[in-house]
């Protein structure tokens, strides 16, 4: 999120490529990938020692307490871990440790909405006012526009009073309606579908829509419709008052107050210097109540579960063929004038970052954690990265900053700038 907001910070990491391929073209590649063909020429032969070394080097520069990289390719499964899950201890992270996935939760919320549409219980063209009262422009904002971040609604995590409240009462329970009230006190930023702007308000609304249409709590629908069918026992949406993570889990850290994650404002020079010198220690945000995030960024998972989830979602194991086609075709340029080819669709980003590689992906950021999940159907590559530090002392989002170091180890001919 920034709790949810920064989720899309991951979107800014992948460099632009040439010859951007439309999402519809990628569906055929997805089918080919699922056939488990031999290692594509686009991929290097993975060197586990080199992967570990690259991750360690980048994590050290970013001063990350602990990180996990999980990589699945046609060659097999590889992992690289660094540091500790808790400062002052020697508990090395693993791919089965639980962490807060932040805005990667949006991939779950979107998938559930798509399933409900698949069931005929809602239509993507329905106005949100059919399901939630009091939404500014609600009669003109469609479900599809919420999913694609094109509603124009103010992003509640940008509100300074939310960050102040979280700092003052970090374990307090907060409801989606309270978050919407924050957003709706501000006017919309633009007319529906006039532009793209990442807003957690969209997914707070979608969570309420899913509960009304599905007739059950969001956590229960996640479990029965998405997680249990795929055997994802390590993934859950905690209750409103639950500030804990299932064991084993990683602590999560960040320098400074909550607002640095929610609005991605830069660290001042004195804070950066104090953090780099070790005089300033990061704050432990592990048990800050994530109820303010919920459908937009409240879930907990493991690297193993997230790898299975994102590959299953991209390769058509969650939705039926018609709904999957609609999901693939939902992508729309975030900025039509930009050259990066980055598109956002129904809770997913797509971008080509080399002539033979492209990825469907999302990111997650909230106080304490930063993460990235992605799948490349052309080459059957799945990648999950998490770090237990939200921002490096110089303000870099940590998992996203580890990403180029990993991609350089995976793809032939790729040489992205690293930290």
Give a yes or no: residue 415 inside a domain: no
State the pLDDT confidence band at 40, using cuts at 50, 70 and 90.
low
Domain span including residue 148: 5-410
pLDDT at 337: 87
Q: Has residue 112 got a pLDDT over 90?
A: yes
Count of domains in the chain?
A: 1
pLDDT at residue 13 greater than cutoff 70: no
Calculate what percentage of the chain has a pLDDT beyond 90: 86
Q: What is the pLDDT of residues 144-167, one digit of tens each?
A: 999 999 999 999 999 999 999 999
| Percentage of the chain lying above the pLDDT 70 cut | 90
Q: Is 384 part of any domain?
A: yes
Is the pLDDT reported for residue 12 higher than 90? no
Least confident of 279-283, 354-358, 375-379, 401-405: 354-358
Is residue 230's pLDDT more than 90?
A: yes
Domain assignment of residue 200, yes or no: yes
Residue 32 domain-assigned (yes or no)? yes
| pLDDT tier at 355, thresholds 50, 70, 90 | confident
Q: For residues 327 and 360, what is the distance between their CA atoms, to the nearest angstrom? A: 11
| Tens-place pLDDT, residues 187-204 | 999 999 999 999 999 999
Residue 37's pLDDT is: 52
Tokens read off for 418: 């690293």
Question: Average pLDDT for residues 16-28, to the nearest whole number?
Answer: 27
pLDDT for residue 1: 67
pLDDT of residue 111: 98
Note whether residue 417 is domain-resident.
Answer: no
Would residue 273 count as lying in a domain? yes
Q: With helix as H, strand as E and coil as C, how does the chain read?
A: CCCCHHHHHHHHCCCCCCCCCCHHHHHHHHHHHCCCCCCCCCECCCCHHHHHHHHHHHHHHHCCCEEEEEEEECCEEEEEEEECCCCCCCCCCCCCCEEECHHHHHHHHHHHHHHHHHCCCCCCCCEHHHCCCCCCCCCCCEHHHHHCCCCCCCCHHHCHHHHHHHHHCCCCCCCHHHHHHHHHCCCCCCCCCCCCCCCHHHHHHHHHHHHHHHCCCHHHHHHHHHHHHHCCCCCECCCCCCCCCCCCECCCEECCCCHHHHCCCCCCHHHHHHHHHCCCCCEECCCCCHHHCHHHCCCEEEHHHHHHHHHHHHCCCCCCHHHHHHHHCCCEECCCCCCCCCEECCCCEEEEEECCEEEEEEEEEECCEEEEEEEECCCCEEEEEEECECECCCCCEHHHHHHHHHHHHHECCCCCCCC
Establish if 418 belongs to a structural domain. Answer: no
Q: Is the pLDDT of residue 6 over 60?
A: no
Q: How far is CA 118 from CA 72, 123, 135, 227, 324, in A?
A: 30, 9, 25, 17, 9
Give the confidence band of 340 by pLDDT, cuts at 50, 70, 90. Answer: confident
Q: What is the mean pLDDT of residues 316-322?
A: 98
Q: Does 26 have pLDDT greater than 60?
A: no
- Name the least confident of 1-10, 114-123, 206-215: 1-10
What's the predicted TM-score (pTM) here? 0.92
- Which is more confident, 35 or 216? 216
> Quick check: is 419 in a domain?
no
Q: List, for residues 58-98, the tens digit of each pLDDT value.
A: 999 999 999 999 999 999 999 999 999 999 999 999 999 99
Q: For position 385, which CATH number holds?
A: 3.40.710.10
Rounded to an integer, what distance in angstroms lies between the CA atom of residue 249 and that of residue 245? 6
Q: Which residue from 279, 297, 293, 287 is spatially nearest to 103, judged by alpha carbons?
A: 297
The average pLDDT across 36-46 equals 76
């Amino acid at each position: 999120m920034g709790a949810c907001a920064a989720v899309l910070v991951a979107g800014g990491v992948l460099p632009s490529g040439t010859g951007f391929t439309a999402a519809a073209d990628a569906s055929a590649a997805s089918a080919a990938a699922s056939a488990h063909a031999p290692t594509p020429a686009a991929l290097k032969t993975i060197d586990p020692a080199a992967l570990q070394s690259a991750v360690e080097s980048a994590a050290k520069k970013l001063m990350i307490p602990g990180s996990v990289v999980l990589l699945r390719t046609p060659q097999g499964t590889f992992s690289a871990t660094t540091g500790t899950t808790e400062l002052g201890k020697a508990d090395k992270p693993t791919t089965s440790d639980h962490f807060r996935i932040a805005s990667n939760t949006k991939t779950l919320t979107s998938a559930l909405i798509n399933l409900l549409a698949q069931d005929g219980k809602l239509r993507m063209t329905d106005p949100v006012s059919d399901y939630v009262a009091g939404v500014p422009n609600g009669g003109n904002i469609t479900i599809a526009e919420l999913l694609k971040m094109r509603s124009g609604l103010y992003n509640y995590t940008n509100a300074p009073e939310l960050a102040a409240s979280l700092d003052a009462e970090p374990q307090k329970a907060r409801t989606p309606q309270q978050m919407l009230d924050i957003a709706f006190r501000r006017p919309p930023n633009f007319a529906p579908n006039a532009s793209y702007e990442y807003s957690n308000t969209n997914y707070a609304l979608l969570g309420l829509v899913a509960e009304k249409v599905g007739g059950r709590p969001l956590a229960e629908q996640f479990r029965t419709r998405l997680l249990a069918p795929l055997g994802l026992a390590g993934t859950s949406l905690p209750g409103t008052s639950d500030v804990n993570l299932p064991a084993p889990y990683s602590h999560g850290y960040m320098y400074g107050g909550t607002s640095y994650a929610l609005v991605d404002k830069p660290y001042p020079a004195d804070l950066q210097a104090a953090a780099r010198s070790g005089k300033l220690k990061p704050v432990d945000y592990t048990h800050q109540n994530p109820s303010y995030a919920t459908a937009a960024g409240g879930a907990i998972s493991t690297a193993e579960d997230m790898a299975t989830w994102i590959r299953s979602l991209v390769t058509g194991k969650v939705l039926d063929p018609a709904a999957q086609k609609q999901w693939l075709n939902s992508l729309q340029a975030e900025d039509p004038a930009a050259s990066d080819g980055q598109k956002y669709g129904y809770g997913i980003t797509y971008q080509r970052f080399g002539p033979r590689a492209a990825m469907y992906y999302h990111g997650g950021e909230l106080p304490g954690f930063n993460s990235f999940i992605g799948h490349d159907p052309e080459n059957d590559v799945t990648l999950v990265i998490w770090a237990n530090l939200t921002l490096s002392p110089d303000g870099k989002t940590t998992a996203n900053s580890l990403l180029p170091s990993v991609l350089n180890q995976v793809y032939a001919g790729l040489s992205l700038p690293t930290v």
